Amino acid sequence: MTALSIRPQEVEANRDSVFKPEVIDEKYKMIAENVTVTYGGIPAIKNVSMKFKERTVTALIGPSGCGKTTFLRCLNRMHDMIKSAKVVGKVTIDGIDLYSKDIDPIYHRRKVGMVFQKPNPFPTMSIYDNVTAGLRLNGVRDRKILDEIVEDSLKMAYLWDEVKNDLKKPALELSGGQQQRVCIARALAIQPEVLLMDEPASALDPIATQKIEETITELKKEFTIIIVTHNMQQAVRVSDYTGFMYLGDLIEFRETKKLFTDPKNELTAKYVQGQFG
Amino acid sequence: MQKGLGVTGKRKLNTDKIFKIGATIAGAYVLVIIALMVFELLSESYPVWQEEGLGFITGTDWNPVEGRESFGALPYILGTLVTATLAMAIGVPLSIGIAMFLSDSPKSISEPLGFMVELLAAVPSVIYGLWGLFVFRNYFKDWIEVPLHNTFGDSVWFFSGTPFGLDIFTASIILAIMIIPTVSAVSREIMKAVPQQQKEAAYMLGATRWEMFKLAIFPYSKTGLIGASILGLGRAVGETMAVTMLIGNATGDSAIPQSLFKASQTMSSIIANEFIEASPASVHLPALVGVGLVLLITAICINVVAHLLVTRMLKVKEGIVNA
Amino acid sequence: MTSTQKRLEYRMMFKQNVEKRLLVDKIVRIIVFSCVIIAIIPLGSILAEIFKNGTAAISYEFLTATPGAIGTGEGGIGPAIQGTLIIIGMSSLIGIPIGVLSGVFLSEFGENRLAQIVRFFNDVFMEFPSIVLGIFAFLIIVLVLGHFSIWAGAFALSLIMFPIIARTTEESLKMVPMTYREAGLSLGLRRWVITMRIVLASAKSGLITGILLSVARIGGETAPLIMTILGSSQFFHSFDAPMDALPLRIWRLSLLPYDSAQLQGWGSAMVLIIIILAINIGVRYFFLRKRGSGMFSRLIRQKILGGKR
C-alpha cells in the first residue's frame, strides 16, 4: 500500500482516531495544567502550567535541578518508568488528556517523540534499523515506504547526505553528533506531532551543536518542539517562546525576545544576566 | 644505609614482610592445590590410561571383575552431557522468564520472590535427591512419563521403554530446578546492566514492555545470557547426589543414554556409587579416578567459556559507555 | 521536506494494532510470572514434604541415639548430627584462615601479576565438581594413611570453603575506603596492624556473611564425604576412623527399602534443612539487609551461592 492509494474517504473515516489532521492556525498543540511531580513524596515540580502553540519552538531554561527535565518528561509520560514518581495534573495534546486512564500511554507516545541528552541509538542495530525501529513496532512492513521514511527522516535530521550510502553501518560507528542526529531521525520517523528534546546538544562539540540547531529551525515548520537547554544563547537562537523554571516552579513564560531583553521577574533577570547558574 | 627509620625500624619492616609473605602464601595456596590435584589425578589414573589408552573415553564396557577387567567411560560421559543439556534446555527458558519478571518489577515484588528463587540454591543436593525419589518421581511418572510413553512410545525413540521414574528424564528435571537459581540470578544481573537510556529509547517510541525487551534488552544482553546458560550447564555437569539418586544406576553398555525413560549413569554418579567398593589394587579405582579427571576437564572447559561470555558482555557495556 | 499531507498518509499506514500489542504484552507478562511460580513450587513442595514427613520422626531419642538395626526403625541419627557439627568445625578451622588471608592478599596486594593469576584460578577452582575434590582428599590422605579419616573429610570441605571466603573477603575489604588505610599509615602503624585491626574490623559483617554462607554450603555437601569419612553408625571416637554426617546418613537411608528408613531420612533432612535455612535466612536478614542487595547480587554473579554438591 503506497501513500498514493489512500483515498479521501479513508482519511475522513479516521478523522476521529488518535491522529487528527492538522489545521494550520494559531492553536495550542499541547497544554499542561497544574502539573506536580513528586519522587517518593518529595516534590520536583509544583503546579507548572504551560501552553505550547503549534509549530513553535519553546525553550525551557533554568539552573540545574530546577525541574525542567522533569517537566519535559511529563509530556510523554516517561515518568511511568520510575516507580517512585507520581504525576498529578493534566497534560493534553489536541485536547486529549495524556493521563486519562482509558488510553494506554503507547498511543500517545507515537505523537510525542523524544531526543535525549546523550545519544542513545540501539547499539546492535544499523542506522537504517535504528530509524525504522518505531515504524516496525507500528506494523509498517512495506520496504518501499520504510525507505521513503528513512530518507525523509534522515534528511530532516541533516544526516542523509553523510550516511546515505552506508545505511547498513552499525549506528555506533558514527560520531557523537551523527549518533544524535540518528536519534532525531528515529524520533521523527514515527511522524510525531510534538518533538521533545532534552539538552540535545550538550554532549556534542560546537559544530555538531550548530547542525542540531539548524535542524531544529527547519523542523519547526512541521513540528511543535519543546527543548530543554542550559545554554541561554541557544535558547535565544532557536526558540520562539521560553519558560524559565527555578526550584520546581515556573517563574516566567513569554516570547523569547521579551523574556531575555525585558524580563518581568527579578529572578529571571538575575538568571539571564548570569548571576547564578 | 638503613632502610627503615624510627626506633623499631628494623622490626617494623620484618613484621610487615612476614605479613606480606604469609598473605602471598595463602593466595598461592590455590595454585598449589590445583597443581597437586591434577598431578594426583593423572598419576592415580595412569594405570587405566595405560591399559585402555584413548579407548577409555570411547569404550563402553565396564567390567570391574578381576580377570576380565575392561573400562570405558563413554556411557557416563554421554550420560553427563545428555542430562546436563536437557537440564539446560528446560531450566534456561524458565530462568530467563524469571529474570525478565524480576528485573522489571518493583522492589516490593522482586525482593521476596527473588529471595525465594535464590533459596532454591541453598537446598542441599541430597535433599533434592530425597524429594525427587520419594515425592516428585511418582507424580512425574504417573502424570507425565507414562502418558508420554503410552502415546509416543512406539513412534518416538526417546519415549521408549517402560518408565519407572528413575531415569534420565527425572534426573534432568531435578537438575533443571537446581540450576535455575544460578542462571536466573546471573541473567537478572545482566538484564539490569542494560543502560536506562536504552530502555527509555524504546519506550519513547511507544513500545510495550515486551517490545522494550526485544528492542533494548535482548540484543544488548544476548552474549551475557548465553554465558549464563552455559554457566548452568557447567553447574549441571558437576552435580552429584541428586543425579545419583535419580538416574537409576546402570553401568556399561546399558548406561548409554537411549531413551528418556531408561536408567543411565553420569560421570559423577558412577564415582559416587562405586568408589568405596573399588579396590586400589585393581584397575577399578584408577578407572574411577580417570572418570573424575574427565569430569574435571569437562567442567573447567564449560565454565571458562561461560566466564568469558559473561565478562565479555560487561566489557562491551563499558566500551559503549566510553564511546 | 515531506508535506503535511504526506505525513498524514504515513500515519494512516500505522496499523491499528495497539490493542494486539498490548494483549501480547499481557500474555508475555503472564508467562514470565508463571515461570517464577513454576520455580517456587518445588521449593514449597520440598519444605512442605520435609516438615510433613519429618516431624513424625523427631524425638529426643532420634536426635541423640545411634542408629538401630537396619529396618527396625529404632535408634536415631545422633552420630550424624554430631558428625556434621564436627566436620563443619574442622573444615572451618582449615578453610577460614586460608580463605581470609587469601582474600587479604587479593585485596591488599592485588595489583600485581601473581594476584591476577590467583584470582583467576580461584574462580576456576570454585567450579571444580565437589566429588573430584573428594577424590583428591582420598588420594592424598586416605590412601596415604591407609584408612578413612576425618582429616580427609575436613580437608575436602575446606577446599570448597576457602575460595568462597577468599572472594567474599576480597569484596568486603575492597569496600573499605582507602582513607581508613591512609589514616592508619599516617599514624605510623605497621601494615599488618592496619589490615588486621582497622580494615578487617570494618569489613567484619561482609566477612562473616561469606563465612556463614560457606558454612551453610558445606553443611549440605555429601559427595566429598563419601570417600573420606565414609559414614558410620557410631559416635565420633577418633580422627582416624570413619564418621557419620547428616547428608551421608540421608543418602544411605534413602537406599534402604524400608518405610522406617524412609521416615528417618525425612527426619534427618528436616534437621539438616533447618540448620541450613536458618543460616541462609539469618545472613540475609541480619547482614545483607544493611548493605543492601548490592553485595548479594555480586555474590550471585560470582556464582558463590549454590554449587555442585
ipTM of the complex: 0.90
d(CA A219, CA A225): 8
Cross-chain residue pair C49–B134, CB shorter than 8 Å: yes
pLDDT at C294: 52
**Looking at the partner chain, which of B195, B197, B205 has a beta carbon nearest the beta carbon of A137?**
B205
Grid coordinates of C106: 587479593
Tens digits of residue pLDDT in B191-230: 998 999 999 999 999 899 999 999 999 999 998 999 999 9
Of A187-191, B44-48, B161-165, C274-278, the one with minimum mean pLDDT is B161-165
Q: How many CB pairs under 8 A join A and C?
A: 53
Cell numbers placing B61: 564396557
Query: What is the spatial distance between Cα C195 and Cα C179, in angstroms, rounded to a whole number?
Result: 13
Query: With an 8 Å Cβ cutoff, are B216 and A78 in contact?
Result: no
Q: Residue A147: what pLDDT?
A: 93
Distance from CA of C7 to the nearest CA of B (A): 17
pLDDT per residue over C11-59, tens digit each? Answer: 888 877 888 899 999 999 999 999 999 999 999 999 999 999 999 988 8
Q: Which of B195, B205, B320 sits opposite A134 (nearest CB)?
A: B205
Cell of C43: 521449593
DSSP string, C181-195: HHHHHHTT--HHHII
Pairing of strands A224-228, A194-198: parallel
Q: Which of B269, B277, B130 is nearest to C251 (CA)?
A: B130
Q: Do C11 and A191 touch (CB under 8 A)?
A: yes
3-state SS, residue C1: coil
> Rounded to a whole number, what is the distance in Å from the CA of B107 to chain A's nearest CA?
9
Q: What is the pTM of this model?
A: 0.87
Q: Are C244 and C83 in contact (CB under 8 A)?
A: yes
How many residues are there in chain B? 323
Among partner residues C1, C11, C15, which is closest to A139 by beta-carbon distance? C15
Cell numbers that stand for B157 in this block? 525413540
pLDDT, tens only, B175-189: 999 999 999 999 999
* pLDDT value, residue A21: 37
One-letter identity of residue C175: M
Among the ranges given (C68-72, C199-203, C213-217), the one the predictor scored with the smallest mean pLDDT: C68-72
User: How many Å lie between the alpha carbon of C297 and the closest alpha carbon of chain A?
Assistant: 21
Asked if pLDDT for residue B2 goes beyond 60, the answer is: no
Q: Checking DSSP bridges between strand A42-53 and strand A57-61, what pairing results, if any?
A: unpaired
Residue C99's pLDDT is: 95
Flag whether residue C109 sits within 8 Å of chain B, measured between CB atoms. Answer: yes
| Residue B25 CB coordination number (10 Å) | 14
Confidence of residue C6 (pLDDT cuts 50, 70, 90): confident
**Helices marked H in chain B:** 9-52, 55-58, 74-103, 107-119, 125-131, 137-140, 146-152, 168-192, 196-204, 209-212, 218-238, 241-246, 267-274, 284-322
Give the three cell numbers for residue C257: 527399602
Q: How far apart are CA C89 and CA C96, in angstroms?
A: 10
Half-sphere exposure at residue C270, Cβ-oriented, CA atoms within 13 angstroms? 21
The reply to whether A19 touches chain B by the CB within 8 Å rule is no
Secondary structure (DSSP) of B211-277: HHIIIIIHHHHHHHHHHHHHHHHHHHHH--HHHHHHS----GGGGS---TTS----HHHHHHHHTTT
Closest CA to C284 of C271, C273, C296: C296
Spatial distance between the Cα atoms of C138 and C175, rounded to a whole number of angstroms: 38
pLDDT at B251 over 90: no
Under an 8 A CB cutoff, do C8 and A139 touch? no
**Most C CBs within 10 Å, among A4, A6, A160, to test the C interface:** A6
pLDDT at C175 over 90: no
Residue A68: CB partners within 8 Å, gap ≥ 6? A60, A61, A62, A228, A243, A245
- Whether the CB of C274 is below 8 Å from some CB of chain B: the reply is no
Measured in angstroms, the CA of B282 and the nearest CA of chain A are apart by 58
What contacts A95, CB < 8 A, 6 or more positions away?
Answer: none
Domain ranges in chain C are: 79-242+255-304
Say what the pLDDT of residue B154 is: 78
pLDDT higher than 70, residue B59: yes
Can you say how many angstroms the Cα of residue A8 is from the centroid of all Cα atoms in its chain? 30
What are B299-321's pLDDT values in tens digits? 999 998 988 887 777 665 555 54
* pLDDT score of C292 more than 80: no
B245-269 in b/e burial notation, b at 16+ Cβ within 10 A?
bbbbbbbbeebbbbbbbbbbbbbbb
Substitution target in A122, A125, A183, A204 with the highest count of B β-carbons within 10 Å is A122
Q: Is B100 on the interface with C (CB under 8 A)?
A: yes
pLDDT, residue B41, reads 96
Are B204 and A138 in contact (CB < 8 Å)?
no
H or E element, residue A49? strand A42-53
Within 8 A of B109 by CB-CB distance, chain A residues are none
**Does B295 lie at the interface with C, CB-CB under 8 angstroms?**
yes
The CATH superfamily label for domain C79-242+255-304 reads MetI-like (1.10.3720.10)
Residue C295 and residue C284 in contact, taking contact as beta carbons nearer than 8 Å: no
d(CA A86, CA A93): 20
- From C280's Cα to the closest Cα of chain B, the distance in A is 7
Q: Which residues of chain A have pLDDT under 50?
A: 1-25
CB-CB under 8 Å, C28 with B296: no
pLDDT score of C297: 54
Poorest-pLDDT segment among B71-75, B269-273, C153-157: B71-75
Q: Which domains does chain B have, with CATH numbers?
A: 82-283+306-317 (1.10.3720.10)
pLDDT one-digit tens code per residue, B127-167: 999 999 999 999 998 998 888 888 887 788 888 888 888 99
- Is A106 in Cβ contact with C22 (below 8 Å)? yes
CB pairs under 8 A between B and C: 282
Phi, psi of C292 (to 5 degrees): 75, -175
pLDDT for A170: 92
Q: How far apart are CA A117 and CA B292, in angstroms?
A: 56
What 8-state DSSP symbol labels residue A100?
-
Give the model's pLDDT for residue C4.
76
Question: Chains touching chain B at 3 or more Cβ pairs under 8 angstroms?
Answer: A, C
d(CA C128, CA C92): 19
Computed from CA positions of residues B116, B117, B121, B126, in that sequence, does the dihedral angle turn out positive or negative?
A: positive
| C-alpha grid cell, residue A208 | 555538531
Say whether residue C189 is in contact with chain B using an 8 A CB cutoff: no
The rounded distance, in Å, linking the Cα atoms of C95 and C89 is 10
Chain centroid to CA C297: 14
Please answer whether residues A131 and A154 qualify as being in contact, where contact means their C-beta atoms are separated by less than 8 angstroms: yes
Q: State the DSSP code for B3.
A: S
Residue type, B66: E
Q: Which residue is it, cell 569430569?
A: B295
State the cell numbers at B192. Answer: 539490569
pLDDT at C228: 95
With an 8 Å Cβ cutoff, is B316 touching chain C?
A: no
Looking at residue C139, its pLDDT comes to 95
Contact B223, B231 (CB under 8 A): no
Give tens-digit pLDDT for C56-115: 988 888 898 888 887 777 888 999 999 999 999 999 999 999 999 999 999 988 888 899
- Which residues are registered as beta bridge partners of A198? A228
**pLDDT on residue B292:** 96
Mean pLDDT for the stretch of residues C117-140: 94
User: Which residues on chain B are in Cβ contact (under 8 Å) with C223?
Assistant: 125, 240-241, 268, 272
Nearest chain B CA: its distance from A182 CA (Å): 12
Please name which of A269, A227, C97 lies closest in space to residue B23, comparing C-alpha atoms: C97
Main-chain dihedrals φ then ψ at residue B161, nearest 5 degrees: 90, 130
Compare CB distances from B203 to A78, A107, A190 and report the shortest one's residue: A78
pLDDT band at C242 (very low <50, low <70, confident <90, very high): very high
Q: Does C266 contact chain B (CB < 8 Å)?
A: yes
Among B191, B212, B190, which Cα is nearest to B200's? B212
pLDDT per residue over B86-111, tens digit each? 999 999 999 999 999 999 888 889 88
Q: Chain B within 8 Å of A133 (Cβ-Cβ)?
A: yes
Q: Give the pLDDT of residue A15.
A: 39
Distance CA B92, CA B108 (A): 25
CB C247 within 8 A of CB C225: yes
Please give the share of chain B, as a percent, with pLDDT higher than 90.
Answer: 57
Q: What pLDDT was estimated at residue B210?
A: 95
The total of other beta-carbon atoms located within 10 Å of residue A16's CB is: 8
The rounded mean pLDDT for chain B is 88
Assess B185–C contact: CB distance below 8 Å, yes or no.
Answer: yes
